[in-house]
Structure 1
Amino acid sequence: MTSSSPAFSMRSVALAAFLPAALFAIGEGAIIPIIPVVASGLGASLPFAAFVAALILVGELIGDIPSGWLVSRIGERTSMIGASLVSIAGLVTCLLAPNEIVLAVGVLVIGLATAVFALARHAFMTSFVPVEIRARALSSLGGVFRLGYFVGPFLSAGVIELTGSVQSAFFVHIAGCLGAAVSLLVLRDPAAAFGQRPAERRRRRADDGGEIVDEAEGLVAVQAQGLFATLWRHRGVLVKLGSGAALIGAMRSGRQVMLPLWAVSIGLGASETAIIIGVAGAVDFALFYTSGQIMDRFGRLWSAVPCMVGLGIAYLALSVTHDLDARVGWFIAVAVFMSLANGIGSGILMTLGADLADKSDPAPFLGAWRFTGDAGSAGAPLLISGVTALVSISVASGVMGVLGLVGAVILVRYVPRYSPHVPRSER
């Protein structure tokens, strides 16, 4: 790989690497707040609406298993284009769904496609971005997705107001997927920014025996083939600190289901819900760089624990406001506070995974670490759905609040053991 200044490299790769991700994220951010609303409008009960919303995360968890194999066979760019098209198929299914069951199938398909897009995007960045600026590039990529989750709800609110149809919000994600696919097709190959042709990047000779290998495909293939073996090999840290990571994932995904579901339960419309969640998303987006600064300067614990404690308190506060006269005001306040707490922890899972991974061969552990976090992300909405069905949505919020505080205790115990803070001056 030819050397180049970080500034030049970042500018060269920015459009091709970040634009497709931004378009896809804007679309996803547009539909997440309205899935429970659509399900409810099609006749779903509140618990089943929560279940339908959870299926996008369940789909991502299921899709994590074959996505590495798929990307290793057809490449990153082709995988992202294919995932965008499959996602469109799921979105059209949602758009035309005559009942909540068909809607659930469409949401699950969207989740499966999202998993492939996410892994392909990771391999894409790993392939093209020089090691010396990789951390900044991946951090910026996280900010791009938060930007999408901020912008998307406002677009869906506008489309709903213009058309008078809640389902029309799915058109925003359809447009985002089409835009992502087209941008991947027409933009200049990022490898050219580093003075390389795609064939030169994709095929290099190994030192031992001259075997021809593919760097990006090797990364994702190892992630896919060794996932369950790696989970068993690193079961100690994954059970201990990994349980804290799973709870972080759970608290984050839970808010994506709880907030729109809560809005349905207190009678808010789809456009009002999208606007409130979009405003909260602005707070989340604004803090992604601050979180990195906190972690680098004071240590991982000072980002992870305030994030979990803040989210736990927010869930607990929400649980006692459902029947208050000012419940809409409380909902707005809690939504913003949740985003503040979540923003403080921006990038914590990726950073902890990087701290723990073998520096000479990080891919197997990172694949297992991501699967652990995704398991928590997929489990939380199902838990919310189940508790809501058995008791009430207020109790479900309270249960999530307690889990957040339990997660904070786990992080306090195990983050210093597995990821001790090293002052920047001593690195």
Structure 2
Amino acid sequence: MAEEFRLRSVAVAVYAPATLFGLAEGSMLPVVALSAIDRGATTSVAALISALIGIGSLVTNIPAGVLATRVGERKSMLLAAAVSVAGLVLCLLDLGTGSWPLVVYGAGVLLIGAASAVYSLARQSYLTESVPLHMRARALSTLGGTMRVGVFVGPFLGAAAMQVWGPPGAYYLSLVAVLAAGAVVYRVPDLETTAEVRAAAASITTWGMVKQQWRVYATLGAGILLLSGIRQTRQTVVPLWAAHLGLSPTASSVIYGFAGAIDALVFYPAGKVMDRYGRRWVAVPCAFMLGVSFVLMPLTHGALLLSVVAMVMGFGNGIGSGIIMTLGADVSPSIGRPTHIGIWNELADVGSGLGPLLLAAVTALAGLGPGIVVSGFVGFGAAAALWTWIPRTVRRVRRVPATE
């Protein structure tokens, strides 16, 4: 009963805003490129503006860690909500009028990406500190799962909002969701820290953390980079191979949706397995199954077999929900944890950027089939790295919310 109480009274306060932030992101992401084109952007410029969300996250991960170390996780989440609101307001300024420069819209998208990095890091650090070690994987895998639920539902609600208010409707929905998330975070208790801990955290620098943890970043961090690469690439290969087979966009979407449903159903059992038997029991199969699904995909020649392979891919990715956050928490120091998580998230984001680039490069040289197979071997490399370097034991000094 104590475990259940902790999850309900502490962790749920993180899950609710996480779902709302995911909903906000999911509702606006599908219309970013279209909104840029409506403002006069070319297709290439619209693609660049769409990429600004990822760029904003990439350049903000490490500063976000420093910020959370200095001011605390709760204040960082509130600041992220405020910056998201500012970004959404900039995105709304010239919708339907064209009176504001395109750069203003791009700045709004960039701010949303930066705020996402800050919020993601702060909620991860807060939950890691708040939840007992023996429930950490379940808590963090559920965090990953709730974000996926929000991102999955967001486009449907955004489409409904656009039916009522036109193109601005998706942004209005995002704005309401972010404001609601901020209101929930405002009621979350601060983590309790002593003056000694605050002073020690204030002395942590990014370079100092790198020197302290460089072996972890060079070993397990490499596995995380590879895993992030193949996980990001998976979002591209199903529609690309479906188009290669001549399937309709509708069929491609249905196949992708089935894979997404499998993905979303297995996050909690996977977290329970990690807590009970260890991280390897999930991390290694996650990477290996992704690799296998990639290698098998070019062997499919119709919708049925592609659906089966896509569902294997969804299962492999789904059982890895929260694994990057969990491993990052496991190897983090008790002092300066947000700074460490910022570096950890940077490694993951670099992998997410490099994975699709590898697919594109090999596809340009040898064709789509070989490109998918080579990307699959990234998964096998991730599985080997995770098997080798995931720690056998986890130790942790825990802080608790001040009201507990």
TM-score, structure 2 normalization: 0.74
Residue number in structure 2 paired with 1:337? 312
Residue number in structure 2 paired with 1:9? 6
AA paired with 1:183? V
Structure 1 residues 308-338: Cα deviation after superposition (integer angstroms, max 9, x where no partner): 22222333455577xx6x56x6765554332
The alpha-carbon distance between structure 1 residues 294 and 79, as it changes in their structure 2 partners (threshold 3 A), is closer
TM-superposed deviation, 1:262: 7.3
Is residue 54–residue 257 contact of structure 1 (8 Å, CA) maintained in 2?
Answer: no
AA paired with 2:178? C
AA paired with 1:369? W
Pick the aligned partner of 1:373 from 348, 360, 369.
348
TM-superposed deviation, 1:168: 4.9
Pick the aligned partner of 1:305 from 279, 284, 288.
284
Is residue 26–residue 152 contact of structure 2 (8 Å, CA) maintained in 1?
Answer: yes
Residue number in structure 2 paired with 1:410? 385
Structure 1 residues 9-46: Cα deviation after superposition (integer angstroms, max 9, x where no partner): 3332355332111101122234445656767886425x
Q: 1:202-351 to 2 correspondence within 5 Å?
A: 204-206=194-196, 214=198, 225-256=204-235, 277=256, 279-318=258-297, 326=302, 333-351=308-326
Structure 1 residues 233-282: Cα deviation after superposition (integer angstroms, max 9, x where no partner): 4333422332111011112223345557778997976x988776555333
Is residue 233–residue 359 contact of structure 2 (8 Å, CA) maintained in 1?
Answer: yes
TM-score, structure 1 normalization: 0.71
Is residue 274–residue 281 contact of structure 2 (8 Å, CA) maintained in 1?
Answer: yes
Q: Matched residues in 2 for 1:68 and 1:299: separation?
A: 27
TM-superposed deviation, 1:355: 4.0
Whether 1:177 and 2:178 are equivalent positions in the alignment is yes
AA paired with 2:157? L
TM-superposed deviation, 1:342: 0.3
Q: Matched residues in 2 for 1:106 and 1:319: separation?
A: 39
Q: 1:46-57 to 2 correspondence within 5 Å?
A: 53-57=50-54
Whether 1:90 and 2:80 are equivalent positions in the alignment is no
The alpha-carbon distance between structure 1 residues 123 and 349, as it changes in their structure 2 partners (threshold 3 A), is closer
The alpha-carbon distance between structure 1 residues 255 and 91, as it changes in their structure 2 partners (threshold 3 A), is farther
Is residue 33–residue 277 contact of structure 1 (8 Å, CA) maintained in 2?
Answer: no
Residue number in structure 1 paired with 2:118? 116
Residue number in structure 1 paired with 2:392? 420
Name which of structure 1's ranges 286-295 and 245-254 shifts more when overlaid on structure 2: 286-295
Number of residues of Structure 1 aligned to a counterpart in Structure 2: 386
Is residue 246–residue 375 contact of structure 1 (8 Å, CA) maintained in 2?
Answer: yes
Residue number in structure 2 paired with 1:64? 61
Among the aligned pairs, what percent are the same residue?
38
AA paired with 2:124? H
Name which of structure 1's ranges 24-33 and 62-71 shifts more when overlaid on structure 2: 24-33
The alpha-carbon distance between structure 1 residues 75 and 359, as it changes in their structure 2 partners (threshold 3 A), is closer
Q: Matched residues in 2 for 1:22 and 1:242: separation?
A: 27
Q: 1:124-163 to 2 correspondence within 5 Å?
A: 124-126=126-128, 136-159=138-161, 162=163
Q: Matched residues in 2 for 1:5 and 1:374: separation?
A: 36
Whether 1:23 and 2:20 are equivalent positions in the alignment is yes
Structure 1 residues 83-135: Cα deviation after superposition (integer angstroms, max 9, x where no partner): 22322443455565779977655443322110111122234435655677655
Is residue 307–residue 342 contact of structure 1 (8 Å, CA) maintained in 2?
Answer: yes
The alpha-carbon distance between structure 1 residues 369 and 67, as it changes in their structure 2 partners (threshold 3 A), is closer
How large is the RMSD of aligned CA atoms in angstroms? 4.4
Structure 2 gaps, min length 5: 395-404
Residue number in structure 1 paired with 2:43? 44
The alpha-carbon distance between structure 1 residues 298 and 125, as it changes in their structure 2 partners (threshold 3 A), is closer
Q: Matched residues in 2 for 1:203 and 1:74: separation?
A: 12
TM-superposed deviation, 1:381: 4.2
AA paired with 1:337? V
AA paired with 2:10? V
TM-superposed deviation, 1:147: 2.5
Is residue 54–residue 378 contact of structure 1 (8 Å, CA) maintained in 2?
Answer: no
Q: Matched residues in 2 for 1:36 and 1:314: separation?
A: 30
Structure 1 gaps, min length 5: 192-197, 207-212, 423-427
AA paired with 2:62? I
Q: 1:346-365 to 2 correspondence within 5 Å?
A: 346-358=321-333, 365=340
